[in-house]
Chains A and B, each alone.
Chain A
């Protein structure tokens, strides 16, 4: 079974500042990793995913994430945030060899302040 921890439930940051949203996972098997974004009153949309290969993954809207197997982490970063990045961000995993079930973290609410 897999589990996901997002230690920061809320992250306030000023516009144009950098941000890092942390994600750690636990799994007895190899995993695929995903970051989703949820804007208010909307569904979730994929920001980026890690399957294999390069540990630095680039996604939409200028976000990137780095997979660190030894630390079982997949932190999301953006060098300069905009007001429009205000949303909730979810980290998710699916276990290799365990079908397509996704396990989600509790989410981090990013608030970008002017």
Chain B
């Protein structure tokens, strides 16, 4: 049982390059999330998808786009990477039922130079 799988685990980009972070879950969860983690700031929500076919902005959506490809997969795209997007990115999923916890992937460490 893999849970939430993120690829890649590490990535170095040059300013202006684009890339897509992939996330897949095998727990039949409805909701999926993308967070970024920066020192001293905890996790901040970038985008979320409450259910297949819907996506919504979180706290820090600027510079990102998402696609909920199907129930299992939720990708995050950086169209033109900036140094401010250097961070650790976490994908998470949960049932769409209040009070249930989120399950997290192992993270993607992204450096933009």
Query: Measuring CB to CB, which residues of chain A are less than 8 angstroms from any residue of chain B?
Result: 4, 6, 9, 32, 34, 36, 41-46, 49, 51, 90, 94, 96-97, 99-107
Contact between A43 and B106, CB atoms less than 8 A apart:
yes
Q: Which of A9, A34, A100 contacts B31 (CB 8 A)?
A: A100
Q: Which of B4, B40, B48, B101 contacts A43 (CB 8 A)?
A: B4
Q: Which of A45, A51, A94, A97 has the most CB of B within 10 A?
A: A94
- In the complex, chain B residues whose CB is within 8 Å of the CB of A46: 101, 103
Tell me the number of A-to-B contacts counted with CB atoms below 8 Å: 64
* Chief secondary structure at chain A's binding surface: loop
A4 CA to B44 CA, complexed, in Å: 12
Q: Which of B45, B48, B92, B98 has the most CB of A within 10 A?
A: B98
User: A44-B90, A99-B50, A101-B58 are known contacts. Are A34 and B41 too (CB-CB below 8 A)?
Assistant: no
Which chain B residue has the least Cβ–Cβ distance from A103? B45
A6 CA to B43 CA, complexed, in Å: 13
Contact between A90 and B42, CB atoms less than 8 A apart:
yes
Query: Measuring CB to CB, which residues of chain B are less than 8 angstroms from any residue of chain A?
Result: 4, 31, 33, 35, 40-45, 48, 50, 58, 90, 92, 94-107
A5 CA to B50 CA, complexed, in Å: 26
Contact between B41 and A32, CB atoms less than 8 A apart:
no
Contact between A43 and B90, CB atoms less than 8 A apart:
yes
List 9 contacting pairs A-B, 8 Å CB cutoff, sorted by A. Answer: A42-B107, A43-B106, A49-B99, A90-B43, A100-B50, A100-B102, A101-B45, A102-B92, A106-B40
- In the complex, chain B residues whose CB is within 8 Å of the CB of A100: 31, 50, 94-98, 100, 102
Q: Which of B44, B95, B96, B107 has the most CB of A within 10 A?
A: B107
- State the Cβ distance, A59 to closest chain B Cβ, in Å: 11
A43 CA to B37 CA, complexed, in Å: 11
- In the complex, chain A residues whose CB is within 8 Å of the CB of B92: 44, 102
- In the complex, chain A residues whose CB is within 8 Å of the CB of B101: 34, 46, 49
